[in-house]
Each structure stands twice: as structure tokens, then as C-alpha cells.
A = this chain, B = another copy of it.
């Protein structure tokens, strides 16, 4: 039996009629504001080449680790899902057959954000009017593929249709930014900027780190055999990224550790690190020292600094060795900020010219650490709920736990942080709705007046992110 697919206009709004009416009014004021996506992982090649996407499976399943991790968790192998192996050994190549796996198991996503994002994509982006299930799998597969081949579904057309004012991608320090250059050269007006993500030349545990340093020296024309040269290479590279539109850097360390060593100690540590001789503790100290250096450079060049700590990467050994990184096996870890950030803050924390945006995968720190820190330091702001917590309940907990100590104005609006380009409107829509829900609660119990809530709704949807990221 085919079931109609209809997104309820009141979705996510509270049950109580009067509060729902407030949420609805607030949402009306912000739902059509342009999207600013200041941090994410879309592929700039899409916008550079503007080539059509291949098919529904290659667009919506294979690259989306949210989607295939759930299927994998229920015993469907990554081979069956067509995830490519490192050694090139065979996996399923019948894209339609893989699509059926999603369709047949779509009930697994009940109650998850993936379900709501996919339904939004199906309904709003592709105009499908029945729900996905075994019976509609082929209809879906064919309809989506057919649309993807049309002009209206090319990357730039969707970018415009999505009302994206600006999107930031994330590139490694060694990226030549050719796609960003191509976008600029093309004359297309879509604003796609990069962000400086130097993990592969900062983290001594990164695959190929020592070689990466060599490449870092070459790409910057700098002698990186000294600590001073290494810092100079960062400065040059940051400048180059900024020239390609970057307004931010991004740092994905295992912990939030920062360090504040003397120059002599930095020099000595760097010599160990660059020759691959650093111990685990020294590697941690080095990552932490570079964060402090990055903060100093941010004060100089104005790039906003994003810290994304606390993911235990590639936790599933078998999957990592057979399929590689980013296969849905990253697991959050307990993360401490108060002591960890102190060295950086001792040096730069009182400087209002510094702009650090803190993220976490450990929700316990919202009320205990991050909101109190952001509610005090002029240099610190709170990023939105991240990754596993970019969901209705995650957003609700964030506002409930962070607002009272940090206020709204030490937060920075929403980040979609996604590779799944088509889900961007869905994700921003969820964020806008959930912020309006939270505001409607504050209005309903008289903690805010509705006119203030209206101002805040626009701030949270648009103004804060624009200001915080200087976009």
C-alpha cells in the first residue's frame, strides 16, 4: 500500500495550541531568510564543474555515513551497500539493488534525524508524493535519477533554489583550492568560500604527517625545518585561504588540550615532531601548542577559529582496515574543556579580538563548562549542537542547557556541517523550527515577550552566524 508523503507544516512544533501558535508566528518570520552555511563538507568540485549527479544511490546513500551506518548496524554489510574497499576488492555495484536496501529498511530510521532530512529531500527537493518503501523503491530510484539529469537539478541550480547566501567548504592546508579558483573564474555569482583545516600538518598522529610537512614547506615555499618556519608556513597558508574567501579555521583534535610552552620548548618539541619521534604525550602537547599559535594568528589576521574536539575516529578496526576513514565509525568521547583550554586562554583569552567557536560531542559540558566559559570570556562563543546532536532533541537540550549561562548572544546560529548537499535546506529548517519552539516556550511561560522572541528568531537564523563568521 502506498502511503502519501506529506511534510506537516507544523512539524516539530509543540502540542499546546497557544504555544504552537507562537512558534508558528515566529517561524513565519524566519523560514525564508537566506541560508548561511558557515561550516561544512560539501565538495567544491560540484560548484566548480556543475556536472549532474549520477544517481540516487551515489548521491544519497554511498557518501552519507549517517545513512549507511544505520543499515550496517542492523547487519547489512558495507559490501552490500557498495562502499568501496581500500584494496579494490569487489563490492555491490548494482546501484538500484542498493537503493532497494534503503527502501526495504527505511523503518530503521524512524525517530532519527536522517529520516526527517531524507523525507524533506524526497518531498521538497524531488517533489515525491508517496513514502519510500519496498513497493515504491523503483519509482523513487527512477524519478530521482530522471530529475538529476535535468538542468534544474545541477549543483548551481540547487544552490540558488536553496537560497544559499554563502556556503563554506573545508579544505586541508595542502589543498591547492583549484575548485574554489575555478568557481571564481567561472563568473558564477554563488558565494562558496573555503575554511583552513590544517589537521594533517598539525597532528603528528595523522597518516603521512612527516611527508605532509614536506609538502607544506613546498606549497608555501617555506623552510619548515624550524619552528619559526613552520609557523610562517601557517601564516602564509592562512593568508592564501583568506584570499579565497576563508573567514575561519577549523581544528578537529582528539581532545580540547591546549599548551602554552616557551619558545625554546616549542623549538625542541617541533624537532621531535617533524622527525616522527614524538611520543603520544608529546604529540598531544604539540597539537595543543599549535592551537594556541593559531589563536595568536587569528588575532593578527582575523580568521575565526573553530575547535571541534572529542571524536574517537575510526573506532571499528575491521571497517577501518577494509574501507578506510569516515565510514560511520567515529564515536564521541568524554571531553574536558575547563583545564584543557586554560593555557590558550591564559595567553589570549581576554583579548576581544580573538574569536573562538567551541563545539562538543559531549553534551554534559553545555551547562557545566561551555556555557559558563562563553558567558565569561570575550574571546569564546558556543557553536551549535554538532553531528550526533544536530537533531531536534539535541537542539532542544542545547538551548535548555546553554541559554541560561551563556545567553543567546554568545551563541552563533546554526552549522549544518554536512557533505549531504541536498539535506542543507532540511537541516536549516529543523534548526529554525527548533529555535522557534524554544523561543515559543520562553514566550508561553513569560520569560520573553513575543517581540523580543521575534528579534531573537532572526538573530539565531541569520544575524548571529553572519556576524560570528564575518560572512
> A448 contacts B405, CB within 8 Å?
no
A10 to B35, CA, bound (A): 37
A38 within 8 A of B: no
CB distance from A392 to the nearest CB of B (A): 7
A312 within 8 A of B: yes
Q: What band does the interface of chain A fall in when counting residues whose beta carbon is under 8 Å from B?
A: 35 or more
Q: Which residues on B sit within 8 Å (CB–CB) of A18?
A: 15
- Which of A411-445 touch B at CB < 8 Å? 441-442, 444-445
A75 within 8 A of B: yes
Q: Which residues on B sit within 8 Å (CB–CB) of A444?
A: 15
> A404 contacts B393, CB within 8 Å?
yes
> B75 contacts A352, CB within 8 Å?
yes
Quick one: copies of this chain in the complex?
A: 3
Cβ proximity bits A342-362 to B, threshold 8 Å, 1 near / 0 not: 100110011010000000011
A363 within 8 A of B: yes
> B349 contacts A338, CB within 8 Å?
no
> B12 contacts A446, CB within 8 Å?
yes
Q: Which residues on B sit within 8 Å (CB–CB) of A333?
A: 338-339, 368-369
Across the two chains, which residue of chain B brings its CB closest to A362?
B368
A187 within 8 A of B: no
A216 to B7, CA, bound (A): 61
Across the two chains, which residue of chain B brings its CB closest to A12?
B445
A110 to B319, CA, bound (A): 47
A332 within 8 A of B: yes
- Which of A310-331 touch B at CB < 8 Å? 312, 315-319, 328-329, 331
> B408 contacts A401, CB within 8 Å?
no
Across the two chains, which residue of chain B brings its CB closest to A333?
B338
10 contacts between A and B (CB under 8 A): A13-B445, A14-B445, A73-B374, A73-B375, A73-B380, A115-B447, A116-B447, A329-B376, A332-B368, A392-B445
**Which 6 A-B residue pairings sit nearest by Cβ, starting from the closest?**
A8-B446, A318-B350, A11-B446, A15-B16, A75-B352, A391-B404
